[in-house]
Amino acid sequence: MKLTSSAFSDGGPIPPRFTCDGEDVSPSLQWSEAPPETKSFALICNDPDAPAGIWHHWAAYDIPVDLTGLPEGAGRPTRGERFKHANNDFGRAGYGGPCPPRGHGPHHYHFRLLALSATSLEIHKTPSCQDIERAARKHLIVEAGIVGLYHR
């Protein structure tokens, strides 16, 4: 399985538009080559370089198997969406873009797509990103990732 973004290349800089210094919208993401047994996807974005440990920026889950990507801005929860959002470490549902401390150096933002053997995750009503990752790992078939860099 492959995960890509038209907003940044793997290992490349994330444009400010997708950060707290810009519009704080989620970048577009596309995927391909999911295993045939995939029943849904989960998408997770973390920053392992955060001073206090891993910072959870986004978890989208119960993404239908017929989707092959998410458009720019899909990280803002809206009515009628075909997937759900967990609460991030900023304390809100949806995407919270890169916002590292000034002068802390480059941070690595890991976007990971998990192909799952379950159509939906059995999870409580307001899960955290960590809850989604734990639940998704129980149904993991394969994982793909892309890393973007950002510093202030």
DSSP letter at 134 equals: H
Q: How many angstroms separate the most distant Cα atoms in the chain?
A: 45
Question: For residue 79, what pLDDT is reported?
Answer: 84
Token couple for 25: 């919208």
Residues making up the chain, counted from first to last: 152
* Beta carbons of 43 and 88 less than 8 angstroms apart: no
Pairing of strands 29-32, 84-85: unpaired
Tens digit of each residue's pLDDT, the chain (152 residues): 999 999 999 999 999 999 999 999 999 999 999 999 999 999 999 999 999 999 999 999 999 999 999 999 999 998 888 999 999 999 999 999 999 999 999 999 999 999 999 999 999 889 999 999 999 999 999 999 999 999 99
Domain boundaries, the chain: 2-117+128-147
Find the radius of gyration of the CA atoms of the chain: 14
Sign of CA dihedral 42, 152, 53, 77: negative
On whether the pTM is more than 0.85, the answer is yes
Token couple for 2: 């492959």
Question: For residue 63, what pLDDT is reported?
Answer: 98
Question: For residue 80, what pLDDT is reported?
Answer: 82
As a whole number of angstroms, the distance between CA 39 and CA 134 comes to 17
CATH for the 2-117+128-147 domain, from 3.90.280.10, 3.50.50.60, 3.40.50.970, 1.10.10.10:
3.90.280.10
Question: For residue 77, what pLDDT is reported?
Answer: 92
